[in-house]
Amino acid sequence: MGYIVSQSIFTVNELRIADRLDGRPRHVADLAHECSVDADALHRTLRVLAAEDLFQEGPAGTFRLAPLGELLRTDAPGSLHEFANLMAGESYRVWADSAYSVRTGKPAFDLVHGRPHFDWLAEHADAARDFNRAQASLVAQRLLPLLERDWNDVKTVVDIGGGNGTLLATLLGQEPHLEGVLFDLPHVVTEAETSLTESGVRNRTRIVGGDFFVEVPDGGDVYVLAQILHDWNEEKALGILRSCRKALPAHGRILILEQVIPEDNEPHPAKLLDLHMLVLLGGRERTETDWRSLLTDSGFRLDSVEHSGRSSLMTAVLD
């Protein structure tokens, strides 16, 4: 019955209940009135989520946020509000047909929505904006191992599939000597203008729209691939890596910021994300053995792997 919990989280997230609780307990009738929803139904929903440690029920139908529930606040450090929104949207409907993906190895997204995920996003501007925002909201948590490495010997960094520019803006903000190239689909990079300008790094950034299966911009010392290769099956991932290989100078390297699936049977979020990638895109998360062979097959050598909380940073050089 796990999806009952997920769906309840999506509902309170859409109603912004976490923001409305704002550090103090409130009566469910008061919340229901403010959100124009049914008070009894909201009470029953919050009761489910209190059992999941997101809320605490106090006396006489009052609720307050529990520490875990704070993550649904829009202004919480490491907020998961945008991410929960993303899981609730077009991808949630796709999971009803996940058995199709198991039968065929193909993404159920294409069956449910009629076309591949990124093509669908290109035709749905609001969903695309939400998708890019959700990705950007996760960047702060993923970025740490990238920020901690030594950038002194690098002049130009190219962010492949850099979305709305959040990662590049943060990195260039920390490293004033760096120049950046933001590369993504043409309709996505248009969103980056604002974030790069507001971060004060626009004058050190080149924005390039294109298709990484065709080519990626040259001129970089370092190419960052953050949450890119897991979107694709082996054949497509090899295509992206080969485009990077063509653009990379002899001294260059690629930095891959992705999940590494532990080779055991313990619970790990990457194992869930792995199935999500299958159902959404026909992609996959990879073990370290998988990463090594993917890189070898595309003319690279895995030089180092640094594991950190959510994602790992893998450095690869030309073989």
Ligand X SMILES: C[S@@+](CC[C@H](N)C(=O)[O-])C[C@H]1O[C@@H](n2cnc3c(N)ncnc32)[C@H](O)[C@@H]1O
Q: Which residues of this chain interact with ligand X, rule CB under 6 A?
A: 118, 135, 139, 161-163, 167, 184-185, 188, 211-213, 226-228, 231
Minimum CB separation of residue 296 from ligand X in Å reads: 23
Minimum CB separation of residue 317 from ligand X in Å reads: 21
Q: Which is nearer to ligand X, 45 or 132 (CB)?
A: 132
- Amino acid of residue 173: G
Are 293 and 227 spatial neighbours (Cβ–Cβ below 8 Å)?
no
In the annotation, is 230 catalytic? yes
Enter the tokens of residue 148. 């901690």
* C-alpha to C-alpha distance for 96 and 94, rounded to whole angstroms: 5
Rounded to the nearest 10°, the torsion over CA 234, 235, 236, 241 is 80
Please give the order of strands across the beta sheet that includes 62-65: 26-27, 62-65, 55-57
Minimum CB separation of residue 228 from ligand X in Å reads: 5
Q: Which is nearer to ligand X, 21 or 260 (CB)?
A: 260
H helices present in the chain, as ranges: 2-14, 17-21, 28-35, 39-51, 81-88, 90-95, 98-104, 108-113, 117-123, 125-142, 144-148, 166-174, 186-189, 192-198, 234-247, 269-281, 288-297
* C-alpha to C-alpha distance for 62 and 24, rounded to whole angstroms: 10
Q: Which is nearer to ligand X, 15 or 280 (CB)?
A: 280
Q: Which is nearer to ligand X, 46 or 228 (CB)?
A: 228
* C-alpha to C-alpha distance for 164 and 136, rounded to whole angstroms: 7
CA angle, residues 308, 141, 216, in degrees to nearest 5: 90
If you count them, how many residues does the chain have? 319
Q: Which of 187, 230, 268, 307 is catalytic?
A: 230
Q: Which is nearer to ligand X, 21 or 237 (CB)?
A: 237
Minimum CB separation of residue 190 from ligand X in Å reads: 11
Minimum CB separation of residue 166 from ligand X in Å reads: 7
Annotated catalytic residues are 230
